[in-house]
Structure 1
Amino acid sequence: MTAELPRGVTPRRPPPMEPMGRARYVVMMTLILLGLGLLAGRIVDLHVIDRNFLQVQGDARTLRTDPIPAHRGMITDRHGEPLAISTPVVTLWANPQDLPADDIQRLRLAQALGQDLDALNERIARYSEREFMYLRRRMTPAQAEEVLKLRVPGVHAREEYKRYYPAGEVTAQLLGVTNVDDQGQEGLELAYQSYLSGEPGKRRVLKDRRGRLVRDLEVLQEAEPGGNLTLSIDQRLQYMAYRELKAAVDENDADGGVLVMMDARSGEVLAMANQPSYNPNNRAGLDPQGLRNRAMVDVFEPGSVMKPLAMSALLETGRFPRDTVVDTSPGWMRIDRYTIRDVSNNGELTLAGILRKSSNIGMAKLTLQLDDPVVPDRYRALGFGQAPGTGFPGEATGNMPAPAVWSSSQWAALSYGYGLSVTALQLASAYTSIANHGERLPPSLLRLNRAAQGEPVIEPDVADRVLAMMDEVVAPGTGARRALVPGYSVAGKTGTVRKSGSGGYEQNAYRSLFVGITPVSDPRIITVVMIDHPRGDAYYGGAIAAPVFSRVAGSALRILDVPPDRPEQEGDSP
């Protein structure tokens, strides 16, 4: 109910609004239009003038160029059997600044990674000021998928490759290994790194602000896979050689051993086994001793296995006809201040008898009748003291003494294999000259499309004559009889060398060697066996290394389908 005013009282009215002045109106409209003009101008500037700049800035925050890993080339044996292959793996990484601080998510992440939570937290804290850290490298795709399913912020994946070696420890020292970045570190993996590695590619991808992949946009550069490498190795022979070598080393409680099998016609290395070895697919607790390819990087005094090579030099002088006889009585002789001994008093020996009885005195007496250094010259022509030229990292040259320091005793010692050092591969290569009518073939670790050109080193008739002498060395009743291969002729030479140390030659420490060529009628393979420091009752090359040759060569000839050249006779078996 409205209250009535007293009679005669007039109600107060509000003052009338003054109309806006024209000047004020113009100013307000000008400001509004100016603001709209500036806004429109800025829109035009952003969408037309600065479009490219802004596009680049936007792309810089969302577009990335990611590498496409190159598939490392495969290494195969001479028949295409894989010896080293690359398999796809996934590496998980994270931006520590994006990882959640929640303990539950951290625990789930650690469990999926197979890591300790405290250790993971410690690593995250250590990298907290950075934007990148590895969580776990080279996981299988299935393992990585289990982690990625957790959708933990800041966790990302990257495709990589991991090297796998199907033959494991059997070819470990020859092939070598790659590191976690798939770069060659040892052996042929290192020697042919640039050829095997290939060229990584590039791709443009769209990612969100957390670095997660949204979409693949385009491939900028295709990855070029590495080249495949075909070795001269025959995987069948390699397995067999490794098995027999390992058994011999274990049986004789030896420090190690090597075996090299070479094709007598081409110089290709068909097998190269080493003991001790290691598993390149699992290097936990790796003994560094197992990394060395002893057949190529370890040198040793070869001993009596050099006598056939020295004999070839002596025969070429023309000073020693076939009926030459050397009196080795009484089984020892003095040269300078040294005493040379044979195992027994062999009396008078023919040239073939010197090799068959492995007489140090016989070789020394023949050598000392000459004024010219024919024996050391022959050794150099056969490649001793020089790199074999295979390209293998760290291949040893061995050692040949300088001519200026030779004394009579040194000349004599060289003729029976002391005073120089060689590798097992050098020995095998040198013996191709005996098996190949005087032409030495350079060793090859790669399969050859055609046989290498041999270098004439020994006169053909002399080489054939020495081969026939070596055939007599491996016969029933000789010290090398355990090298016999049923059904096949064998030419060979044993060697037993006392090991040297810092204080000179060691007592009761030997190397046992055997070098063999088979079959004699048409040489197919040359095999060098060396057992380092056997600790059993026997240590002679004929007792330790020769049986290994027999088993390996016999199996190899059957695998290679080489027809027998000598009917089996009673007593032929080792």
Structure 2
Amino acid sequence: MKNSSKPAKRKWREWRRYFVLGIFTLIAVAVAVRALYLQYYMTDFLLEQGDNRFVRHMNKPAIRGTIFDRNGEPIALSTEVRSIWIDPSILSQNLHELPKLAYFLKRPEEEIKQLVLNRQKSRFYWLKRQLPPHEAKVLMALKIPGVYDQIEYKRYYPDAEITSHILGFTDIDDDGIEGIELAYQDWLKGNSTTTRILKDAKGRVIERREIVDQENHRESQDLNLTIDRRIQISAYRALKTGMIKHEAVAGSVIVADMRTGDILAMVNQPAGNPNRLEDRRATLLKNRAITDIFEPGSTIKPFIVAAGMEHGRWKPDSIVKTGRSGYRIGKNLIRDVSLSDSMDVTTVLAKSSNIGVVKIAESLDPSILFNIFNQIGIGQKSQIRLTGEEPGRLGTLRRWQLDPFEYATKAYGYGISVNTLKLAQMYTVFGNEGNYRPLRLVKNDYYPETTPIFSPKVTEDVLVMLEAATDKARGAGGWRATVPNFRVGGKSGTIRKIINGKYSSTHHRSFFVGIAPISDPRYVVAVMIDEPRKDGYYGGLVAAPIFSEVMRSTLRIMGTKPDALLDDPNIKLIAK
């Protein structure tokens, strides 16, 4: 029995040895297969997981370019701020640190806890954006695991609401939303750069390397505007004062150098401070100088007079029969405020006679006026690239030719529409010896070419007539536009607004567009006041004083020599 059991035991031991050896062989094969699988088929995944634990890629935003006025004064710049972000997967393992974080953020601890736990598989979450650096420094000094800060940049506008309508603003990522900030986004903001940070198992940084896509990289660039900050401020103050005085709904002012086409100021009311989020509302930041269109009223009359003289039909002293009882075209009657049987062309402009300019227009083929209006840009957008600009309306020549009364209304500024920028742009004709020059807002962006409209002799005569339109002794309605010691010329205008499809008798717009100095025309100022509701509504009463203040400041700031000193009796006595 004993001898027979020995082979059985030996056989059992051998079988057990082979079994164990087989098990280990299978395990070895499985490990080898798994290793090969991970090595050749899971490489990218494993590298990514390793990077997630030990490598960080931090985006560093490009510093947005500074916007300067024509004299190099910064009017929009970016300041450094710090944004706080968390790694929820790390912070969720350190919940005992949350009271410090909640206290700093002034938020309930439970709210922060739920925020972290709901994202504990995530590696990134913005906790607080755009903190002042000194505040972020306090938080980072607490050394809470999983809490980090990152440099960002926040836009700041030194002049707040004064330049808000031109500049627009940026969002929390420093991207342009409105105005110049949006129009020149690609110029002002370059590409962000990426920094690769390698850490060891204890979280210590052992390597930091900046990654730049050289092929597609674009640097941020500064931008120089044609705006003169000093004139912008003075124009804003004058407009706001006038708005308050007349309790108006809105208003705009444009100041431009007619020779260069440079816009020196563009201001609007109402206005908001783009540095405050609560002020970033369309009603406050709407650039009404380009968005609000309206019929130009009597401000169009100098162009009718100039067209009549250009074609040899009229001269400054030509007599126009106006009549006291009005002028009838078909079933429609055109009236004048100043009743007179007749007046010369200069007085037609000085007293803003509707009948007078209609008779001058009737002496011309409608195509002549239509082409002039088209050449001075009515119904077309400007070239300044700001979003939201409305081009206005010119209509069709066919309508002018078929309907005599509709053609007549064009002579005193009804049936067509422009914006305040266009008003200023149109009057560049009278400052450039009859050549129309588009206006620009950015230096070196383009240099506008001029278009000949009238001859130098005609524009010289019209300038003298525009000066007469500000002469109180002639009974001109624009006498409040005068500037001491300077020869000034311009034209006021008043229109009735269209309310519910009809012209209102209680809602008006008031205008004044003028030029100075008349002896050497250089600057144009256009003023539009929407719905003045106190102390009158005529352009000569409401808009002309604002023009006077803005032009006076502009001439002083630009160092222009007075050209009307000899009108002073004391100076005349010395001159003799």
TM-score range, shorter chain: 0.7 to 0.9
Are residues 119 and 420 of structure 1, via their aligned partners in 2, closer, same or farther at CA, if it must alter by over 3 Å? farther
Q: For the residues of structure 2 that align with 1:179 and 1:68, how far apart are their CA atoms? A: 17
Deviation at 1:333, TM superposition (A): 2.5
Long gaps (5+) in structure 1: 1-20
The number of residues matched between the two structures is 552
Counterpart position of 1:300 = 294
- The equivalent position to 1:186 in structure 2, one of 178, 185, 189, is 178
Deviation at 1:124, TM superposition (A): 4.3
Letter of the 1:496 partner, please give it: T
Letter of the 1:420 partner, please give it: I
Counterpart position of 1:9 = none
Counterpart position of 1:155 = 147
Which stretch has the larger CA shift, 271-280 or 64-73? 64-73
Deviation at 1:99, TM superposition (A): 2.8
Determine if the alignment matches structure 1 residue 279 to structure 2 residue 273: yes
Q: For the residues of structure 2 that align with 1:219 and 1:372, how far apart are their CA atoms? A: 65
TM-score (norm 1): 0.87
Q: Percent identity?
A: 39
Counterpart position of 1:142 = 134
What per-residue deviation string (whole Å, max 9, x for no partner) do you get for residues 435-492 of structure 1?
Answer: 1101111110012499643211112211111111101111233321111110110010
- The equivalent position to 2:456 in structure 1, one of 454, 460, 475, is 460
Deviation at 1:396, TM superposition (A): 1.7
Counterpart position of 1:532 = 530
Alignment of 1:460-479 (within 5 A): 460-477=456-473, 478-479=476-477
What per-residue deviation string (whole Å, max 9, x for no partner) do you get for residues 377-436 of structure 1?
Answer: 211111111111111112221101112223111111111111111011111111111111
Considering fraction of residues, name the structure with more helix.
2
SS across alignment from 1:320: coil
Are residues 323 and 252 of structure 1, via their aligned partners in 2, closer, same or farther at CA, if it must alter by over 3 Å? closer
- The equivalent position to 1:71 in structure 2, one of 63, 88, 92, is 63
Letter of the 2:555 partner, please give it: L
Counterpart position of 1:236 = 230
Counterpart position of 2:9 = none
Counterpart position of 1:289 = 283
Is contact 1:490-1:520 (8 Å) kept?
A: yes
Q: For the residues of structure 2 that align with 1:212 and 1:314, how far apart are their CA atoms? A: 83
Deviation at 1:153, TM superposition (A): 2.7
Letter of the 1:254 partner, please give it: A
Is contact 2:92-2:120 (8 Å) kept?
A: no
Deviation at 1:170, TM superposition (A): 0.5
SS across alignment from 1:386: coil
Determine if the alignment matches structure 1 residue 421 to structure 2 residue 417: yes
Are residues 118 and 319 of structure 1, via their aligned partners in 2, closer, same or farther at CA, if it must alter by over 3 Å? farther
Letter of the 2:220 partner, please give it: G
Q: For the residues of structure 2 that align with 1:117 and 1:59, how far apart are their CA atoms? A: 31
SS across alignment from 1:509: strand
Q: For the residues of structure 2 that align with 1:147 and 1:54, how far apart are their CA atoms? A: 34
Q: For the residues of structure 2 that align with 1:114 and 1:331, how far apart are their CA atoms? A: 76
Which stretch has the larger CA shift, 115-124 or 51-60? 51-60
Is contact 2:92-2:116 (8 Å) kept?
A: no
Counterpart position of 1:372 = 366
Alignment of 1:383-394 (within 5 A): 383-394=377-388
Are residues 52 and 520 of structure 1, via their aligned partners in 2, closer, same or farther at CA, if it must alter by over 3 Å? closer
Are residues 155 and 485 of structure 1, via their aligned partners in 2, closer, same or farther at CA, if it must alter by over 3 Å? same
What per-residue deviation string (whole Å, max 9, x for no partner) do you get for residues 208-255 of structure 1?
Answer: 679886652455568754111100000010011011111111111100
Long gaps (5+) in structure 2: 1-12, 570-576
Determine if the alignment matches structure 1 residue 395 to structure 2 residue 389: yes
SS across alignment from 2:472: coil
Are residues 335 and 280 of structure 1, via their aligned partners in 2, closer, same or farther at CA, if it must alter by over 3 Å? same
- The equivalent position to 2:433 in structure 1, one of 437, 441, 450, is 437
Letter of the 1:199 partner, please give it: N
Q: For the residues of structure 2 that align with 1:123 and 1:310, how far apart are their CA atoms? A: 70
- The equivalent position to 2:322 in structure 1, one of 299, 324, 328, is 328
Determine if the alignment matches structure 1 residue 360 to structure 2 residue 354: yes
Deviation at 1:256, TM superposition (A): 0.9
Is contact 1:72-1:225 (8 Å) kept?
A: no
What per-residue deviation string (whole Å, max 9, x for no partner) do you get for residues 535-569 of structure 1?
Answer: 11311111111111111111111111110011164
Is contact 2:304-2:360 (8 Å) kept?
A: no
Deviation at 1:371, TM superposition (A): 3.6
Counterpart position of 2:574 = none
Q: For the residues of structure 2 that align with 1:507 and 1:497, how far apart are their CA atoms? A: 10
Is contact 2:308-2:363 (8 Å) kept?
A: no
Counterpart position of 2:407 = 411
SS across alignment from 1:373: helix
Is contact 1:433-1:440 (8 Å) kept?
A: yes
Are residues 167 and 334 of structure 1, via their aligned partners in 2, closer, same or farther at CA, if it must alter by over 3 Å? same
- The equivalent position to 1:522 in structure 2, one of 501, 520, 543, is 520
Is contact 2:194-2:210 (8 Å) kept?
A: no
Aligned Cα RMSD in Å? 3.6
Is contact 1:202-1:221 (8 Å) kept?
A: no
Q: For the residues of structure 1 that align with 2:458 and 2:299, how far apart are their CA atoms? A: 17
What per-residue deviation string (whole Å, max 9, x for no partner) do you get for residues 106-139 of structure 1?
Answer: 3331231244546545644664564432211111
Are residues 447 and 365 of structure 1, via their aligned partners in 2, closer, same or farther at CA, if it must alter by over 3 Å? same
Letter of the 1:249 partner, please give it: M
SS across alignment from 1:158: strand
Letter of the 1:359 partner, please give it: S
Are residues 213 and 296 of structure 1, via their aligned partners in 2, closer, same or farther at CA, if it must alter by over 3 Å? farther
Which stretch has the larger CA shift, 115-124 or 301-310? 115-124
Is contact 2:164-2:274 (8 Å) kept?
A: yes
Q: For the residues of structure 2 that align with 1:396 and 1:564, how far apart are their CA atoms? A: 37
SS across alignment from 2:173: coil
Q: For the residues of structure 1 that align with 2:381 and 2:435, how far apart are their CA atoms? A: 18
What per-residue deviation string (whole Å, max 9, x for no partner) do you get for residues 64-109 of structure 1?
Answer: 3322211111110011100111111111122334334887643331
What per-residue deviation string (whole Å, max 9, x for no partner) do you get for residues 313-352 of structure 1?
Answer: 1222222244421122215233233332211313311111
Letter of the 1:413 partner, please give it: T
